[in-house]
Structure 1
Amino acid sequence: MTATRPEPATGPVLDAHLAVDRGTFRLDVRLRIGAGEVVALLGPNGAGKTTALRALAGLQPLTAGHVTLAGRDLDRSDGRLRTPTERRPIGVVFQDYLLFPHLTALDNVAFGPRRHGVDRRTAHRTAAEWLHRVGLAEQARRKPRQLSGGQAQRVALARALALDPVLLLLDEPLAALDAGTRLDTRAELHRHLAAHPGATLLVTHDPLDALVLADRLVIIEHGRVVQEGDAASITAQPRTDYVARLVGLNLYRGTADGHSVRMGSGFALTAADRVHGDAFVAFPPSAVALHPHRPDGSPRNTWPATITGLQRHGDNLRVQLAGPIGVAADITPAAAAHLHLTTGQQVWVAVKAAETRAYPADTRPTT
């Protein structure tokens, strides 16, 4: 039976403006999350993801801004309001889970309700119910060292959800798992998040986790939001090099005049779309063809390039090329063998205009 996500409330459950100064780094991010909504916060290392999570959890004071949860102010920098971590209706699953090693799985899950004044019997009953929901009823008496990585992750999730949190924070919840365990645990986590009536913020650097688990993506770089929207809109129109790499596209910025987009170097690409003014142009590595000599025929975009790198990429070979623009190409091993590709080799690049998309370079984050 598939879990049904609750209908969102009329207003956001979480309304936050997180401004945090840490030395020379400044985080300045606005987040709004509705009831039953899962938002993934992505960004490269050092972008401010963990700082944002810690600020929401009350572990990092705000320099400016506010945190409002279900209409209740938790933090207000102007009024010097700061709610202690233990008094926030927030559940957190940390990257390394932070289970108490001396407690059983049952007692780990019961810990939160007990801290909130629930009597021992009721807390254990709640914990047992949650362990049953996450498929660990038979592991209730085991301690963390006796659990697998996937089991420990589910105990940590049960511990966070046993508090019936208004906001659930997940900090790289699958990062500590091996590839096989990660696949099954991701599917299990998706089921539980779909049933959670509150708001959820998933902090991750893994695009697959974000695409599978989240309803909406918020991407930050250097402490600022650079793009926001659902997976389809972001993968269709990335707006920074980091986002382009995240979704697997070659991305360039230039000035468009109809179907032609000219870069600062004077090199131009022909695209399927008609755009005017400041624009992005993008195409997938799979749209790039390599030739030993200048190709004849239909490709509108051709240029000479030098191979600077070769590596396996799934079932294909990822080829990095330098030239008027840097480009990544995905070709089959058979094609690579036929072309005798090596680093430093001169080749011709061809990209069909029909596979090249252009769109306005609006500098505001997309919504």
Structure 2
Amino acid sequence: MTVDAHLVVRRGDFELDIALTIEPGETVALLGPNGAGKTTALRALAGLAPLSGGHVTLAGQDLSATPPERRRVGVVFQDYLLFPHLSARDNVAFGPRRQGVDRRGAHAIADRWLERVGLAEFARRKPRHLSGGQAQRVALARALAVDPALLLLDEPLAALDARTRLETRAELRRHLAAHPGATLLVTHDPLDALVLADRLVIIEGGRVVQEGDAATITARPRTDYVAQLVGLNLFRGRGDGHVVRISGDFVLTATDVVHGDAFVAFSPAAVALHPRQPDGSPRNTWPAVLTDIQRHGDNLRVRLAGPIVVAADITPAAAAQLDLQPGRELWAAVKASETRAYPAA
């Protein structure tokens, strides 16, 4: 059952206005910074936030006026919102009971789902006696027990610690792959989106700024937020063949050919730092001043001011050799072959 929605929600000075289409068996991740409208979109699809305009259709049926309890929608909230006075089994059985299934039948459905999520032996436990990962799996089982045509996941892994998150993400991926309905995953975590989703939709300020598969978005970010999300330096300028003029006399050279409004992107790992102006092959070199240095995985990420503001990744050994500290004057270099230039339109 295809989900086709145009969500318009106005709240004070904020307006959400996005179009979403999700096919059966497809998982779409909705990403964006805080305040972009992600949770508002999810609540509108669930019927928990009234539309100011637009529509929500499921298999061609308009759900805009359908109350939440009558929609074939399952929701897993960020804090799971399990009923604290009910056992895991009764939490999962709650949805089928609301759909008119008798107690025995609802418990049978709950037992099957608890078995599928690996929690059969925890069926009688109350939520306070479950770990974070177990509570997340009960919440997922409760959402799937109603056989939803649309499954909504609101930051489903955000409350978990790093190790539990890794394990639960892999398990969630398996369940989503088996889910025949449409799924919308709301998240701010790019790893969750890349691992779990078939397609990404990125919103900022209540509008869609970019959408597509992970490969397309990571290769060609179109806003600063998206560039930060995928870990790239991004600049906008005017292309003239292999050269993109960023500002004033500062240009970046790429192997790609672009004309007109264009983006240039490159990885922080592509930025080489030198104590003095380098000789040789790099086409893109400029003087810079180090403004910040932080640990980034096994390496260090430094911020550089200058004609452009960039992030660069270097090894601790290189940092020591360069005597890096805030205020240090350096030269930055990026090979043309390490840059990507593409039209901004």
Q: Normalised by the shorter chain, which TM-score bucket?
A: over 0.9
Partner of 1:23: 12
Q: 1:66 aligns with which of 42, 51, 55?
A: 55
Cα contact 1:265–1:324 (8 A) shared by 2:
no
Determine whether 1:219 maps to 2:208. no
The CA deviation string for residues 303-339 of structure 1, in whole angstroms up to 9 with x for no partner, is 0000010000011100000000000000011100110
1:310 to 267, 289, 293: 293
Structure 1 segments of 4 or more deviating over 6 A?
none
- For 2:94, the equivalent position in structure 1 comes to 111
* 1:136 aligned partner, one-letter code: L
Residue 279 of structure 1 pairs with residue 234 of structure 2: no
Q: Residues of 2 paired with 1:226 and 1:62: CA distance?
A: 21
One-letter identity of the residue aligned with 1:42: L
- How big is each residue's C-alpha offset from its partner over 1:27-58, in whole Å with a ceiling of 9 and x where there is no partner? 00000000100000000000000100010010
* Structure 2: unaligned runs, 5 residues or longer: none
Asked whether the 8 Å contact 1:130–1:158 carries over to 2, the reply is yes
SS at match of 1:263: strand
Deviation digits for residues 59-91 of structure 1 (CA, Å, limit 9, x no counterpart): 11111100001211101xxxxxx1111011000
Distance 1:113 1:188 in 2: 23
Contact 1:105 1:142 in 2 (8 A): yes
Matched, 1:45 2:28: no
CA contact (8 A) 1:18 1:64 kept: yes
Indicate whether 1:55 and 2:44 are aligned. Answer: yes
Give the TM-score normalised by the residue count of structure 2.
0.99
1:323-362 equivalent positions in 2, closer than 5 A: 323-362=306-345
Shift of 1:116: 1.0
| TM-score, normalising length: structure 1 | 0.93
Fraction of identical pairs, as percent = 79
Corresponding residue for residue 208 of structure 1: 191
Which letter does structure 2 place at the counterpart of 1:173?
P
For residue 120 of structure 2, the aligned residue among 137, 141, 159 is 137
The 2-side partners of 1:318 and 1:271 are apart by 23
Aligned pair count reads 345
* CA drift at 1:205: 0.1
Aligned AA for 1:141? R
Q: Of 167, 173, 185, which residue of structure 1 is paired with 2:150?
A: 167
* Counterpart code for 1:349: A
Whole-angstrom CA distance in 1 between matches of 2:304 and 2:72: 51
Give the distance between the partners of 1:21 and 1:264, measured in 2 at CA: 37
Instruction: State the shift of 1:265 in Å.
Output: 3.1
Aligned-pair CA distance for 1:221: 0.2
Aligned-residue RMSD, C-alpha: 0.6
The Cα of 1:266 is off from its aligned counterpart by 3.0
Q: Secondary structure at the match of 1:135?
A: coil
